[in-house]
Amino acid sequence: MTEQSNVWVVQQGDEWAVTRERSDRASRVFPRKQDAEDFARSMARRDRVELIVQKKGGKIHKRESYGRDPFPPRDTEH
């Protein structure tokens, strides 16, 4: 079984792209960040991988793990 790659939400010009790690192309592009995040979250949940969302400047805004995380976060946000 091939291990799935994590899902990223990144800014592409004025739009937001949903991409897989080590992929050259976006899975899908959205005009709104929230729409891209919702789509990416469903992909990450389905594939049991991590969702990584960037801010406009490229810094990581949040990470959500939907797979087997050996070091789960201690926060209670999720």
CA triplet 33, 11, 51: central angle to 5 degrees?
65
CA distance 75 to 61: 15
Nearest CA among 11, 16, 20 for reference residue 51: 20
Q: Confidence band (pLDDT; 50, 70, 90) for 67?
A: confident
Give the H/E segment covering residue 33: helix 33-47
Instruction: Encode pLDDT of 7-55 as tens digits.
Output: 999 999 999 999 999 998 999 999 999 999 999 999 999 999 999 999 9
**pLDDT at res. 70:** 65
**pLDDT at res. 78:** 55
Whether 3 shows a pLDDT value over 90: the answer reads no
User: pTM of the prediction?
Assistant: 0.82
